[in-house]
Chains A and B, each alone.
Chain A
């Protein structure tokens, strides 16, 4: 059981590390969001699953089971909450006029759409 925990914990740390590297190196806010949104969520979920498994090492008493279920619940909640938060931040950034970075500097799409004002 603790072997699986060690594997999951190291995998989670690996995804956290890639998320940080992407967060520091990418040129533009939107490309940084790729790294943080995904690496962050997966890293946390893997590590919490690994810790839940490790917690079951000490026997299947009710207390251990409850704590493991809570750990898994945090993982599931974080798996749902983090993409939502990332989407909210992205929407706020886009609405406040932050255009994605392009090599030739021309904006990707023209916003707000001038022709037909549909929202």
Chain B
């Protein structure tokens, strides 16, 4: 089961690298924000997987809970800020 978690974690890492491509070369600004949000949600699951691999799941659950709230608030702040700036 541990190696299965490791495989899933590696796949998630690859997906993070792929979605970072749009984060760097995204034509519009909002693609970059979505790229960061996309990476964040994968990191959320990766954190819990790491918790299972290290055997300290009760610590990592709290970390990923706080992290999911942070991603959500961060995306909202980005949206509110760039709404008025109108940077194309």
Binding site for B on A (CB under 8 A): 2, 6, 9-10, 12-13, 16-17, 19-20, 23-24, 29, 32-33, 36, 40-41, 43-44, 47-48, 51, 54-55, 63, 66-67, 70-71, 73-74, 77-78, 81-82, 84-85, 88-89, 91-93, 95-98
Contacts and interface: CB of A to CB of B under 8 A. Distances in A.
Given A77-B68, A89-B30, A95-B83, A23 B41 contact: no
A32 B31 contact: yes
Contact of A2 (B1, B27, B72): B1
Interface string B48-77: 110010000110011011001101100110
Q: Is the interface of B mostly helix, strand, loop or mixed?
A: helix
B79 A96 contact: no
B8 to A, nearest CB: 6
Contact of A51 (B28, B30, B48): B48
A96 B85 contact: yes
B53 to A, nearest CB: 12
| Size class of the B contact interface (CB-based, 8 Å) | 35 or more
Contact of B11 (A13, A19, A32): A13
Given A77-B68, A89-B79, A93-B30, A20 B15 contact: yes
